[in-house]
Chain A
Amino acid sequence: MKKILGILITLVAVYVLTAMVGDNFLSAYNQEKLLERTALFGILSIGVAFVIITGGIDLSIGSVVCLTGCGLPWLMVKHEWPPAIAVPMVLVVAALIGLSHGLLITKLNLQPFVVTLCGLLIYRGLTRGFTEDQTQGFGGEFSGLRAVANEKISLTAEFGIPWTWVILVVIAVMAWIFLNKTIYGRYLRALGNNEDAARFSGVNTDRMIILAYVFSSMLAGLGGMLFVMNVGSAQPSNFGNFYELYAIAAAVLGGCSLRGGEGTILGVVIGAAVMRVLYNMINLVTWIPTHIEFAVVGAVILVAVISDELVKRAAARRRVRG
């Protein structure tokens, strides 16, 4: 709880601020959209959190979102694959991508930054290739499948909880249990802190690292499909652009250390929420020009990380005196 206090305060602060200055922020429609987006980005962020906990990084997430987001309608519409085959197929491709990252990083000792940077370039290029850079969409079909990503559980006449949020909660709970309650989660944190010591203790460190990259890519693949099901179509040249950075930022905001070994799932989800509220604020508040979005996001993350560090130091001092 202590670990996520800082990010929780940040979320409340940004939320209240936006509610005060933004028109329509509290409208049922906007709140629903906010939840929906938080869920989608939250899924990506949980994936990358696993990799960050091992002390690695995954820069390919945005391109995997592009590949899977364009790939799903491409298979279903252009090649007329039924959803029951196309969806699992896309997930398998995503898993294979993660597997190849993991193998290159553990067996060939390549650096995660380099491997996934190449991934970032390759998957987007491939997608633009096989789609011939044409927008891929469902063209009004498949509303049953797409309901998963854009329908809600109605609570009142206007407001409901989006189904994507249910998916996020299920994934978050499973991730939390994995990290905190299973021996494999313990191994993951141990090797993130000190890979040699973990290996000496009999942990199959390579296998755990590979698993983290598979999780990351699979969740990116799931996210990519949900994104395209949500909006209906995807453009290969920009679908998922910068999503890896949003995901990494959310994970870092949520308390993952890039040095490895640390991270809480709840923190990461809250981190994703902070990112979305910020984005929402920039779009709703008329006197903030929309094109300075990145500057605002960057500045807020910096402030959050700095105040977190200051709070930690103050707490350490207080503990000493007490």
Chain B
Amino acid sequence: MSSLLEARGVVKSFPGVKALRGVDLRLGAGEVLAVLGENGAGKSTLMKALAGVQAADGGEFLMNGDPVRVDTVRGAMAAGIALIHQELNMAGNLDVAANIFLGREFRKFGLVDDERMRREAVTYLKMVGLDVDPAVEVGTLPIGKQQLVEIAKALSVDAKVLIMDEPTSSLSQTEAEQLFVVVKDLVSRGVSIIYISHRLSEIVQIADRVTVLRDGENAGELAGDEITHGKMVQLMVGRDVDRFYQRTQHELGEVALEVKELRTTAYPEHAASFQVARGEVVGVAGLVGAGRTEMLEAMFGVMPALGGEVWVQGEKATIGAPREAIAAGLALVPEDRKTQGAILDMAVLENASLASLKRDARKGAFLNREAEEALAEKGIKDLSIRTPDAAQLVRYLSGGNQQKVVLAKWLAMKPKVLLLDEPTRGIDVGAKQEIYGLIEELAKQGMAILFVSSEMEEVMGLSDRVLVMHEGEVAGELKRGGITEEQIMSLATGGVSQELKV
């Protein structure tokens, strides 16, 4: 097959890290190429190099066999390469059309011609199957739609190669499905796609070919029928990851968490009630917008609940701020690591210890450096965080490793009740398995665990019990053993419940 885009011997170093050590990549016209690899393998770095966001130190780049310069975004754009960032990159306060044409505004008499931009925007919005008013502010759209706007933007510069770095990591199942439809449609128009994801089932579904990176080098390729879960994992991790969700039966203790009639700003008229026992892992499923994040945030005191009570181990907790929730024995791994979880310009060590400083790592008002180091080292080891050392700024870690730092911070707290909001977002298969192992271990030790996830497999595989939320209410409960995807979906969409009420 003649290749549309080819990269040869790409190298890139950061202080203390050789992120790419001579990587090759070939993309055919109208092809969907998946790039796989563990956290920190160099996927995002390679994509940034292709799209001119962060120039490579060396390597050749060819479009249709001709050398092109992609050391700036402009150069890459001119060559027809556009990147949809791992972390969304939109100006939330500008309208849809303004975002699509940012930097290339149409003008009339020297002034911005909003009307024309909005007119033209519609063409591209149609291509991605998005039916929104181009005059609404991007910040008011749900994440899935923002992403489609970003794709529309790439199409508007006539991109021939569209790079998507973990596009589905913050999407719900339905939003993801919608994205795949758009991808297939784009391919039929002759656009080629490079696709990065840690969700292997997606890759089986949409990729024509898979290339795997390991430690900044090519580790192998798969095409067509070879693209199976097992083979991909084998190439990524270099070993088999079997028995993915390994749960053992253990005794549940008394009720650790009880939520009574909790109402949040998402659905002021609806209330949620449920219990979680010590040693129990409860998954919360539902569509994006079902009020799951709001529920966790209200329980944790991030935003005030409109009503309801939270009881921890038989005691009523008054929670007006996260610190009060922590004092009551709760911990929350928040949904958005960049804005709520990690402090990007502080070291791994300082992040890992931030929540437990007060309890575990001080001598009076003073920092206890040794205790902090011990905490950080344990986190790095338990979660296999890939970092040169504990003093590295979190900003310089790969996306998945940043997420692990946030997890490490909260696991160090050893709370009575652990709340997790999309805990494995952007985490590779190997590390996911380790995290599931840790969760299992914590449950065994008597911790109550409540986690929200949009990954159906994760919800079904990890939970003792699944709560399905619909418009701020618990629409139904499913017990381990009797959980099917269809049941969850029907409850989540407000369909007739076929749940086993317990």
Binding site for B on A (CB under 8 A): 181-184, 186-187, 189-190, 193-194, 196-204, 261-262, 316, 319-320, 322
Contact = CB atoms under 8 A, between A and B. Distances in A.
A118 B365 CA distance: 34
Contacts of A187: 357
A202 B326 contact: yes
15 contacts: A181-B367, A182-B365, A182-B367, A183-B358, A186-B354, A186-B357, A194-B339, A197-B340, A197-B342, A199-B302, A200-B341, A201-B409, A202-B323, A261-B345, A261-B346
A189 B367 contact: no
Nearest to A197: B343
Interface in B336-364: 339-346, 350, 354-355, 357-358, 361-362
B343 A183 contact: no
Contacts of B322: 199-202
Interface residues of B, number: 32
Given A183-B357, A320-B13, A198 B367 contact: no
Contacts of B365: 182-184
Nearest to B369: A181
A319 B322 CA distance: 39
A10 to B, nearest CB: 24
Nearest to B327: A202
Instruction: Please list the 10 inter-chain residue pairs (A to B) with the smallest Cβ-Cβ separation, ordered nearest first.
Output: A202-B323, A319-B15, A202-B326, A201-B355, A201-B354, A182-B365, A194-B343, A183-B357, A193-B343, A193-B345
Interface of B: 13-15, 57, 300, 302, 321-323, 326-327, 332, 334, 339-346, 350, 354-355, 357-358, 361-362, 365-367, 409
Contacts of B300: 200
Contacts of A202: 322-323, 326-327, 355, 358
A262 B340 CA distance: 19
B350 A186 contact: yes
Given A194-B343, A200-B332, 12 more contacts: A182-B366, A183-B358, A183-B361, A186-B357, A187-B357, A189-B346, A190-B346, A201-B322, A201-B355, A201-B409, A202-B322, A202-B326
Contacts, number: 76
A203 B367 contact: no
A183 B362 contact: yes
B354 A198 contact: yes
A190 B367 contact: no
B73 to A, nearest CB: 19
A197 B335 CA distance: 11
State the majority secondary structure of interface residues on A: helix
Contacts of A199: 302, 321-322
A183 B323 contact: no
Contacts of A320: 13-15, 57
A200 B333 CA distance: 9
B326 A194 contact: no
A204 B362 contact: no
Contacts of B358: 183, 202
B421 to A, nearest CB: 11
Contacts of A322: 15
Contacts of A196: 339-340
Point out which of B339, B343, B358 has the most chain A C-beta atoms below 10 A from its C-beta.
Answer: B343
A198 to B, nearest CB: 7
Contacts of A190: 343, 346, 350, 354
Nearest to A321: B13
Point out which of A181, A183, A199, A203 has the most chain B C-beta atoms below 10 A from its C-beta.
Answer: A183
A25 to B, nearest CB: 40
A172 B131 CA distance: 59
B357 A193 contact: no
